[in-house]
Structure 1
């Protein structure tokens, strides 16, 4: 009989794996070059960088609030901020996608919100972000001239046709499910239908999503420019999207080590200084965490004032 290790042990092992991977990255690019690259950033710009780093969690909370509003479950913005900050922080304590159950639990505990409302909303959020990251990664690679697969007119035509068929298929099944048909598939279909209609139909969700990733891209570009790494917007897009996508899909808390390792690998493939790329990604993580902490303090104070 096989005994599975406790959840805490598994989480600790995953975290140690990520830290070990990060240490291996530093060793591979050279600790001297890496530390020198870390020191290239002028510290006087940190307040501006942290201010930009505070934008993503605000947009993230705003988008979740809007999704819940579309599901006829409105909540105050300050509560959306509190839950979002807490769930994002929990993501560093649990494996990938761990923020989702944390968000569900916190919404139930703090907002008395049932899982029938929160589960579709967090699934929808993850689908949106994974789609955006995939599109950004592909677009950045095309702009920079590195094409992972041959792209011809026929490829675009077939892809467009497949997307159209999927959208129409989900639309028909979603309509049937909403009218009471297909009861066994209704829950999964409603989530899929919400994804399609929200992505295509609501400008506020689009705006919050664009705001979140635009701020992330602006911050990464600013850090790269201040560190003397001239990679252009296409390089910034690739350096943002590919590591973020890798970190989101690998079961390591916060994607620690995975994002940096994949960023160094993609930088070397693109001909970018890997030590500088790794340093920028660590600065990016640190600044966004400081921004998240600032938003958390403000939301906690605002929430206490409301009570």
Structure 2
């Protein structure tokens, strides 16, 4: 279990998961005022104290570990709540196939359906007590309801899975949006904060320049993916399925077991964007896309 904790501000503590919080681990936060504790996300092998309220940034399994046992109450954005109502809705949202992996997965993450989970909206504010409050900051794209939390008066901004990795953003679930992802990458720069913390291994950031540099590297992955996609389309028309596994999103030699459906979903969003911009055409009757102006 994690024993490392770091005080980010008078009321905010960061709980370090194994391996620095790299996937599948993470680094949740607690916000404490008086006798009240709010936990921002859960995580594997985290020994944060029991909380009065667990606020989930989104529905992904690494953030919801043993959620019902972590706090008296659990809440998530209203756009993500339906995904946690049943295992079938969760698996469907990720486009994951049925298989032997399911039982092990559910056991590892302590995953249980939460059909009655509490919900909040874009403008929710949670009063922790003593003048301390947690304000929801919508950061959609990764999932439809993905959000961050601004803790005041401490000035700590938790940006959850805007993880600032050089791998780049993820937008592969039903309800994910490439356009919203781009907007979120801009939105996180507009929130005034003294400290910025992501869920995974990057940060926390106490210097704005360091944060902006890592954000720029993270965001650059979007244009790099598009460039690789356009390069492949320049060699001939292809379907989204034919583009999958060609190194556009994941490196072929290190792709995880779930890479296929994840990459396919993300490529479809890129293709839709290229078609909308007039840079590509399709899909044709055979499902293939081509560069605009090419014969295919």
Q: Which has the higher contact order (CA 8 A, sep 6+)?
A: 1
Q: Which has the higher strand share?
A: 2
Per the TM superposition, whether the score is higher than 0.5 is: no
Into which bin does the TM-score normalised by the smaller protein fall?
under 0.3
What is the TM-score normalised by the length of structure 2? 0.24
Q: Which has the higher helix share?
A: 1
Determine which structure has more spread, i.e. the larger CA radius of gyration.
1
